[in-house]
Structure 1
Amino acid sequence: MPNDARLVLLDKNVVESLLLPDDVLAAVREAFVLHSKREGRVFPVVRETLAPGGVFGIKSGDVPAQALLGFKAAGFWPGNRGLGGEPHQATIVLIDPATGRPVCIVDGNAVTTMRTGAAGGLGLRQLARPDSSRVCVFGTGVQARVQLSFALRLMPALDNVRYVSATGQPVPAFEALFFNRCNIAPASDRNAAVADSDIVITATPGAGALFDLDAVQAGTHLNCVGADTQGKRELPAGLVQRARLFVDDRPQASQLGELQWAPETPCTELGDLLTSQAPFTRGRDDITVFDMTGLALQDLKVARMLFDRACQANLGFALSWPW
């Protein structure tokens, strides 16, 4: 009955206790497949700058056959660093599509981090050379860490990591996370590190090109995370046109991702590889790029998984929400 309605709240601690990498991989893979089959819809993205210098956005969508509807409100608040907090903030809301009533509110920070890492891992598995052993990572923050973690998890041959920090200096805390899984060290020259790598991962704020075009060698795969807003980029001009380009969603990537700088470039959605709707055979010398802007369906599938498990384990806080 309406007066018995409840709204479930899943805070950071509950989310992190339930968020397991293999489960997130499965949920994110399903999101790509649903998108490819057009069984899940992605609605137009809201992405706006804020007066204090932050960015606010909304990603939403639904899967009618699964009674799944919702949105993620998220963005970037740089002033949070001065408060000792995380600049990236996200909240996911699941909604009953039959009534429009909210069902569950989820702290979306860890969800966003891990689902993006899982998407990057799926991209590597589909697009990078299986024998890839050397990776160059741009960034040492939360997203760089999860991207590298999934890369090492899913690409068994990877054993040599070079990284480029924001200051160009070593970051011992970043190295400590991976020292027992690979040979990791800071790159002394970013272009040389790119040229010597099989895989390049860019996970920065997207303020501009991170390396020179001619540093990218034949056979390289690039996972690009940082371009998620109009005006952002991490790749040098000309690289997208030179590569075989893959995206999570073409309209979204052409507005927010690396594709915005060359919107007429042919590209393939990653989900179409997973469903075999698009044939792909990697040539040994192909340069491939996965331009990641993040699908609302990824957030919703992971949030639904967390909601179901929290209810089964009697976790979270259920609050009366009559109407």
Structure 2
Amino acid sequence: MTNSNQNTSKGVSVVSEAVCQQIMGRTEAFSAVENVFSAMAKNSAYNFPVIREAIGHADALYGFKSGFDRDGMVLGLKSGGYWPGNIQKDLTNHQSTVILFDPDTGKLRSLVGGNYLTAIRTAASSAVSIAHLARHDSKVLGLIGAGHQSTFQLRAALEQRDFEKVIAWNKEPENLTRLAVICDELSLPFESVSREVLCAQADVIITITSAFEALIDTNWIKPGTHIACMGTDTIGKQEVDANIFASARVFTDELAQSITLGEAQHAIKAGLINQADIIPIGEVINGTQIGRTSDDEITLFDGTGVGLQDLAVASVAAKLAEEQGLASYFNL
């Protein structure tokens, strides 16, 4: 978090994608996301309604996520979306910019590149869930999905437990190479497996896909598993069997998004659980709710992705860039 008045005398600060990659690491992202989840649970930070629309051009989805964190005095929005054809143009499919304002005056404060920050804040979210909910003796990490985001997920997750092996599945197996390279770099065994084998072996499972159908069956999950569902952020998307929710202890980043557009939407619609069964992870962080209650319990984190995560990491990036003389400035 950062003071909203920092460097306002120099004008509006601009922090590029390159600078964000230079100064924002996984540790900074983890702390920023954990802090904002805590603030959300205390009702001192809240997200505004999300706008997300198909623009009718380039098959793109475009929208806004915004909010205000009173604890950190961070106000702003992330504007951007998903352009599926960008990969053919050597561009990231997700494109976004974070815009920060001074909460005391409403003046524009900072423009911060949002693509890299979106990736590390999403990975930080699942990492926070692993830190607070996974068994401490977890040894096998499983990943469902091997897209751009998967590498960020892998690196962040590996820092939360002493994993001894990584296993993964992807619809296009050739894409698993990007995960294998990281494991080789870290001298960690890696194996491509079926989804059923992955569920039988993994102590922690991260799903990070754009699927619209369940990729994991509830009968495959072994006792004591922690599952972080990170791909479902739109009505209709689905990564896991909704019946898992009936047998798991369920947590989320934000309840309103979880039940409407997160992974929990299907379990809610089917009447398998109700809203009261889902615990904001910030309450676990704050100690007002218990996380895992036994080594045999299945825990599930529904990571829907909220605007306050983007504002939190962007605020830290702006502060670091300004302090290190890496921001540029302009006046309106």
Normalised by the size of structure 1, how large is the TM-score?
A: 0.93
Hey, what does 2:136 align to over in structure 1?
130
Give distance in 1, aligned partners of 2:148 and 2:174.
17
1:169·1:186 contact (CA, 8 Å) conserved in 2?
no
Q: 1:101 to 1:217 in 2, by over 3 A?
A: same
Give distance in 2, aligned partners of 1:134 and 1:180.
17
SS in 1 for 2:159: helix
- Give the superposition deviation at 1:104: 0.6
Give distance in 2, aligned partners of 1:245 and 1:47.
26
Give distance in 2, aligned partners of 1:227 and 1:169.
23
Q: 1:219 to 1:14 in 2, by over 3 A?
A: same
1:240·1:258 contact (CA, 8 Å) conserved in 2?
no
- Counterpart selection for 1:315 from 313, 316, 326: 326
Point out where structure 1 has 5 or more consecutive residues left out of the alignment.
Answer: none
Point out where structure 2 has 5 or more consecutive residues left out of the alignment.
Answer: 1-8, 269-273
Matched, 1:153 2:164: no
Say which is worse superposed, 44-53 or 192-201, in terms of deviation.
44-53
Partner AA of 2:196 in structure 1 = N
Q: Deviations along 1:219-245, whole A, 9 cap, x unmatched?
A: 111011110111111011311222111
- Give the superposition deviation at 1:190: 1.4
1:212-291 equivalent positions in 2, closer than 5 A:
212-263=217-268, 264=274, 266-291=277-302
Q: 1:65 to 1:130 in 2, by over 3 A?
A: closer
Hey, what does 1:57 align to over in structure 2?
63
Hey, what does 1:9 align to over in structure 2?
14
Q: 1:66 to 1:225 in 2, by over 3 A?
A: closer
- Give the superposition deviation at 1:171: 3.1
Q: Deviations along 1:86-106, whole A, 9 cap, x unmatched?
A: 101121000122332211111
1:56·1:75 contact (CA, 8 Å) conserved in 2?
yes
Q: Deviations along 1:229-282, whole A, 9 cap, x unmatched?
A: 111110113112221110011011111111111232511000000001112342
Partner AA of 1:283 in structure 2 = S
Hey, what does 2:4 align to over in structure 1?
none
- Give the superposition deviation at 1:5: 7.0
Q: Deviations along 1:289-318, whole A, 9 cap, x unmatched?
A: 100012222211211111112112221221
Matched, 1:74 2:80: yes
1:60·1:70 contact (CA, 8 Å) conserved in 2?
yes
Give distance in 2, aligned partners of 1:209 and 1:49.
24
Q: Deviations along 1:206-228, whole A, 9 cap, x unmatched?
A: 33211222111211110111101
Say which is worse superposed, 63-72 or 123-132, in terms of deviation.
63-72
Give distance in 1, aligned partners of 2:216 and 2:77.
35
1:171-182 equivalent positions in 2, closer than 5 A:
171-181=176-186, 182=188
Give distance in 1, aligned partners of 2:305 and 2:240.
18
Give distance in 2, aligned partners of 1:49 and 1:6.
34
1:61·1:296 contact (CA, 8 Å) conserved in 2?
yes
Matched, 1:298 2:312: no
- Give the superposition deviation at 1:284: 2.0
Equivalent residue pairs, number = 317
Give distance in 2, aligned partners of 1:284 and 1:186.
26
Normalised by the size of structure 2, how large is the TM-score?
A: 0.90
Give distance in 2, aligned partners of 1:79 and 1:170.
18
Give distance in 2, aligned partners of 1:216 and 1:166.
20
* Percent of matched pairs sharing the same residue: 30
Hey, what does 2:147 align to over in structure 1?
141
Q: 1:134 to 1:313 in 2, by over 3 A?
A: same
Give distance in 2, aligned partners of 1:211 and 1:237.
9
Q: 1:18 to 1:260 in 2, by over 3 A?
A: same
- Counterpart selection for 1:193 from 182, 195, 198: 198
Give distance in 2, aligned partners of 1:41 and 1:141.
30
Q: Deviations along 1:126-149, whole A, 9 cap, x unmatched?
A: 111111111210111222111111
Give distance in 2, aligned partners of 1:176 and 1:204.
20
2:146·2:175 contact (CA, 8 Å) conserved in 1?
no
Give distance in 2, aligned partners of 1:282 and 1:234.
25
Structure 1 moving runs of 4+ over 6 Å: none
1:208·1:234 contact (CA, 8 Å) conserved in 2?
yes
